Homo-oligomer: A and B are copies of this chain.
């Protein structure tokens, strides 16, 4: 045995998050994921229950990484006030998505929510993130809502490439958004 199946699954999931992030569910052949993971397409199908199972598992991994990053960010704020903790989480999120994979994967997953299993995975992911953000920061519902609203705005900015647009309307939308 060159490797255990569990270890392979982990590397495949990393490759899957990146690949799906770039080209989305339907336009990403599992051969692309397999190649990025350095194994054959056939073995990917043995490790996961079809392309759909692979995508759902990748969604789990994506949100897992987000929660971990937010935890680390919140730790930097210690037990400061809700606003401070939220800002620390925002900074952590901005750093995390510098490579764009996690952000783009979320956008891609949102676009395929007509598949029930994917919709459920997206809900489960945001459930984890939202409950964590709320409980860890102690912020009000309205503050948590604002946190996610500007997070979603960040998704638009990145997918549309608005950081690169010098026109006033784009500057207005990107003003104060951290990092991208």
Contact = CB atoms under 8 A, between A and B. Distances in A.
B123 A162 contact: yes
B175 A112 contact: no
B172 A141 contact: yes
A119 B163 CA distance: 13
A119 B156 contact: no
A155 interface: yes
A142 B26 contact: no
A42 interface: no
User: What is the count of identical protomers in the complex?
Assistant: 2
A110 B113 contact: no
Contacts of A23: 114
Contacts of A159: 110-111, 113, 119, 122
Contacts of A161: 113, 119, 123
A138 interface: no
Contacts of A113: 159-161
Given A24-B114, A107-B107, A149-B149, 9 more contacts: A24-B111, A107-B111, A111-B159, A113-B159, A119-B160, A126-B156, A126-B173, A134-B172, A145-B153
